[in-house]
């Protein structure tokens, strides 16, 4: 069965520093991969998605992620953190013929220090 693991439930960076949020998945077939962001008391907003095109995916707000099949990883990065990036980040996987469901990782809370 497919699963998603996000390493680190809390990540803290200084403003202007590199953001790296880790995501590993397990799947027997090529997956679709997503990163979502959730700000306090709000719904989830799509940051970016991988759907078997380019392995380096650029998203909104300066985020990007690289799909590495050999490592079964889809880590999220941003070169320079901004205070407004503080939020909960979720990695998710979806497979064909699975009813469209997203399987989420446990989430990583990103804190940005001034």
Where does this chain bind other proteins (CB under 8 A)?
Answer: 32, 34, 36, 38, 41-46, 49, 51, 88, 90, 94-104, 106-107
Least separation in angstroms between CB 80 and other proteins: 25
- Cβ–Cβ < 8 Å for 45, 36: yes
Least separation in angstroms between CB 17 and other proteins: 24
**What tokens does 55 get?**
């392995």
**Which residue number, 80 or 106, has a Cβ lying nearer to other proteins?**
106
Q: What is the dihedral of CA 46, 48, 49, 50, to 10 degrees?
A: -170
Least separation in angstroms between CB 27 and other proteins: 13
């Amino acid at each position: 069965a497919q699963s998603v693991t996000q390493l680190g439930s809390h990540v803290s960076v200084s403003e202007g520093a590199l953001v790296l949020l880790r995501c590993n998945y397990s799947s027997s077939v090529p997956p679709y991969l997503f990163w979502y962001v959730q700000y306090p008391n709000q719904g989830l907003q799509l940051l970016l998605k991988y759907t078997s095109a380019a392995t380096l995916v650029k998203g909104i707000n300066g985020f990007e992620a690289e799909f590495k099949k050999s490592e079964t990883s889809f880590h999220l990065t941003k070169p320079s953190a901004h205070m407004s990036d503080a939020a909960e980040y979720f990695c998710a996987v979806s497979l064909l013929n699975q009813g469209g469901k997203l399987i989420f990782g446990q989430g990583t809370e990103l804190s940005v220090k001034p």
